[in-house]
Amino acid sequence: MKANGKPKMRLAPILFLLASVVSACHPPYPTGADDELKPSPGGRLTARFFGVSTILLDDGNTAIITDGFFSRPGIGRLLFGEIAPDPDRIGWALQRGDVTKLSAVLTVHSHYDHAMDAPDVAHRWQAVVIGSPSTANIALGEGFPASCIRLIEHDRQEFTIGSFGVTAFRSLHSTGVPGGAAAEGTIDAPLRPPAGRTDYKEGGTFSFLIDNRRFRIIVHASTNYIPGMYAGVEADVVFLGIATLGKKSEAFASAYWREVVQTTKAKLVVPIHWDDFTIALDDRPLRPAPYPLEDFPRAMAMLRALAGKDVALRFMPLYAPVDIEAAAGLPPRARHNPLPAPSSCP
């Protein structure tokens, strides 16, 4: 593995550069009206999507977010410079998504496109950061208080955040990411930004089962799995990471689908981690990560075949609230808890 890791690492910058050129002239993915969930602000439990695997869930009482990644540094900085949270971009996106409260940031792993902004986002509302010891070192390096970090220390560890129950599942990171080997491992000391892209080491990968009044959402951000990881677990919705899926075999895609979607009996699957996150967020649609880094059309073709008629496969709109219970086919429920949850980390 190490032997062919070296040429891949040298190839990675060239691939990234090529891809960014392709991406600049690449059209957004043509989602039809049937492919995208409709904004629906009145729901009891709303979800909002901000690209990669950043999803905000809000039931009126409590709001939580996965990753909270908004800085999206450009290709030049990623390859030849250093990166750091961008407070202006973070602030813009939070405002664009009408985020007014937050109790927790759940990080799926410690790569920069998941954990780099988490402390900045959490700090704005005295929210807690939940993640691995590596994510804790990102937070400490950014001056985030240790008392507001909740460590994930074992599989199926449970957290209660206001009206949400969260269970963290151990999983595996996707394979086949160009330059990925350089960002394996753990972050063993506080990481002070600016830092190199590969200083944000993976630190173990998790997915989350999020339960809100028995409506169950799985956020499974990285395109891989541990066989049997969801044994005995059921969910209404899966936010399914599909980065690198288009370059994988059909056998892998079916096994992935079986382990994460069929086992949990989810009836709605929302693809995530499909966009080119070297492009800043604005009011234009997201663009898929381009070939040769990804083969997005092939990934979608495989997913459509796997979903068939039994499972709805839908994209989230950007920033807009979606009544995620109605999207999963449940009858509308009224908002229950009008009072905001107290700050979880005073």
* CB nearer to Zn ion: pick between 57 and 183: 183
To Zn ion, the closest distance from the beta carbon of 180 in angstroms equals 8
Residue 17-46 contact track with Zn ion, rule CB under 5 A, x = bound: ------------------------------
Query: In Å, how far are 43, 44, 103, 104, 328 from 335, measured between CA atoms?
Result: 7, 4, 18, 20, 17
Residue 193-212 contact track with Zn ion, rule CB under 5 A, x = bound: --------------------
Starting at the edge strand that comes first in sequence, how are the strands of the sheet with 157-161 ordered? 157-161, 164-171, 205-212, 215-220, 237-241, 268-272, 312-313
To Zn ion, the closest distance from the beta carbon of 183 in angstroms equals 7
Q: Which residue is nearest to Zn ion (CB)?
A: 111
Residues from 83 through 112 that contact Zn ion (CB under 5 A):
111
Mapping DSSP onto H, E and C, the string for 106-151 reads ECCCCCHHHHCCHHHHHHHCCCEEEECHHHHHHHHHCCCCHHHEEE
* CB nearer to Zn ion: pick between 205 and 263: 205
> Exposure of 262 by Cβ count < 10 A (0-12 exposed, 13-18 middle, 19+ buried)?
middle
To Zn ion, the closest distance from the beta carbon of 318 in angstroms equals 21
* CB nearer to Zn ion: pick between 222 and 263: 222
**CB neighbours of 122 closer than 8 A, spacing ≥ 6?**
68, 102, 104, 105, 128, 129, 139, 144, 148, 345
DSSP code for 88: H
Residue 209-228 contact track with Zn ion, rule CB under 5 A, x = bound: --------------------
Query: In Å, how far are 53, 102, 164, 197 from 183, measured between CA atoms?
Result: 18, 29, 32, 8
Asked whether the beta carbons of 51 and 38 are under 8 A apart, the reply is: no
To Zn ion, the closest distance from the beta carbon of 184 in angstroms equals 10
* CB nearer to Zn ion: pick between 176 and 285: 176
* CB nearer to Zn ion: pick between 72 and 111: 111
* CB nearer to Zn ion: pick between 44 and 111: 111
To Zn ion, the closest distance from the beta carbon of 173 in angstroms equals 6
To Zn ion, the closest distance from the beta carbon of 72 in angstroms equals 14
Size of the site for Zn ion (CB under 5 A): 1
To Zn ion, the closest distance from the beta carbon of 136 in angstroms equals 17
Backbone angles phi, psi at 13, to 5 degrees: -60, -40
Q: Which two tokens stand for residue 190?
A: 């506080």
Q: 């920069």: which residue's tokens? A: 112
* CB nearer to Zn ion: pick between 62 and 224: 224
Asked whether the beta carbons of 29 and 35 are under 8 A apart, the reply is: no
For residue 287, state whether it binds Zn ion (rule: CB under 5 A).
no
Residue 109-148 contact track with Zn ion, rule CB under 5 A, x = bound: --x-------------------------------------
* CB nearer to Zn ion: pick between 111 and 247: 111
To Zn ion, the closest distance from the beta carbon of 210 in angstroms equals 20
- d(CA 177, CA 190) in angstroms, rounded, equals 25
Q: How many CB atoms lie within 10 A of CB 341?
A: 20
To Zn ion, the closest distance from the beta carbon of 277 in angstroms equals 11
Exposure string for 299-329, b = 16+ CB within 10 A, e = fewer: bbebbeebbeeebbbbbbbbbbbbbbbbbbe
* CB nearer to Zn ion: pick between 63 and 177: 177
The site for Zn ion (CB under 5 A) is made up of 111
